[in-house]
Structure 1
């Protein structure tokens, strides 16, 4: 198989994308660490739970919404649980499954932190774009995400998605 090297235009676009995403994630992490003492991933977990019916999600569904492995989610939820922001419950329909539930304290943290987070997102991203560019950004990102979820890259299938990966058991 012949390597399809990036063209000069593609290389510049790739590097600009990488710089922007890394800088944006760092900016969001710094703001959330300062305002809530947590990284962006933990805030996203709380936000996903806040949007779920009864503020509860099965751990597998939460991993999928968060686009992370189940083991990474388990670690994050354990930390959030220790801080009193989330509680784990047994899944009523599946004894092997568990549910993450947002606590009232978790809701309070979101309510305190959301205004600063939204302002950071707006100032760092949307205030720099025209309305037309916002639409283009959504279209581009949705196309990329859809291709990756559909397994279009490297012939991967649904089992290769982060939230579907199984940890290798220790011997």
Structure 2
């Protein structure tokens, strides 16, 4: 296999835009993380674990699928689920073919309902309210193109509109939206059943 040719250097304009992208990647996640930790005692990754489970009517999902949807490694997800389980917000259950599911408890749904408003407020303060509708649409389109280039499987989960089908949990439903439904297995201890869930704000998933 021959040596790859050196790529062309970035132009001045490209460098300027790329530095802005890098600044966004370094500052926005930490700002969102800080708000959730301060107000809710959870980090951004743990919040999105709760959101993804809350998106299912029964609050249950295979650990492998959950890792894919949250963009977390199996070890990172296992660590987060362990912490959320200790807090009483998630339970582990045995699934089909010895797979293990993570399932949101009633207390976990209450935690999601409690945490969502502050997170949405911070998303609005930092991003939504700083941009015009046209700027936001352009940012969303550009971000989706880059994200799907880096992780092609995201094409099935990104770009859902707010008028997409909504589950009984109040979050955008995976039904009919093309969300990944491939099961995943992680050998972990199971857990008991949970009671019917409470309503979760539709804007929790941001």
- Please state which band the TM-score falls in when normalised by the shorter chain: 0.7 to 0.9
| TM-aligned CA deviation for residue 150 of structure 1 | 3.0
CA deviation string 1:145-168 (max 9, x = no partner)? 2212239xxxxxxxxxxxx9xxxx
1:13 corresponds in structure 2 to: 17
Q: Which residue of 2 aligns with 1:74?
A: 78
Structure 2 equivalent of residue 2 of structure 1 = 5
* 3-state DSSP of counterpart to 2:101: strand
State the match for 2:101 in structure 1: 99
Separation in 2, partners of 1:150, 1:114: 28
Residue 114 of structure 2, aligned match among 98, 112, 124 = 112
**Secondary structure, in 3 states, of the residue corresponding to 1:2?**
coil
Deviation at 1:8, TM superposition (A): 2.0
Partner of 1:168: none
Gapped runs of 5+ residues in structure 1?
152-163, 165-171
Q: With the length of structure 1 as denominator, give the TM-score of the two structures.
A: 0.83
Are 2:149 and 1:133 aligned? Answer: no
Query: How many residues get paired?
Result: 150
User: What secondary structure does 1:32 align onto?
Assistant: helix
- 1:107-127 alpha-carbon deviations (Å, 9 max, x no partner): 111111111110000010011
1:41-84 residue CA offsets vs partner (Å, 9 max, x unmatched): 10111011101231111001101110111111111111111111
Please say if 1:35 is aligned against 2:47.
Answer: no
Whole-Å separation in 2 of the counterparts to 1:150 and 1:34:
34
Structure 2: give runs of 5+ residues left out of the alignment: 154-183, 185-206
Deviations along 1:90-142, whole A, 9 cap, x unmatched? 11x211x1100011111111111111110000010011110011111111111
Deviates more, 1:141-150 or 1:117-126: 141-150
SS in 1 for 2:97: coil
Look up the SS of the partner of 1:87 in the other structure.
Answer: strand
Root-mean-square deviation over aligned CA pairs? 1.5
* Higher relative contact order, chain-length normalized (CA < 8 Å, sep 6+): 2
Report the alpha carbon displacement of residue 22 of structure 1 after superposing the two structures with TM: 1.8
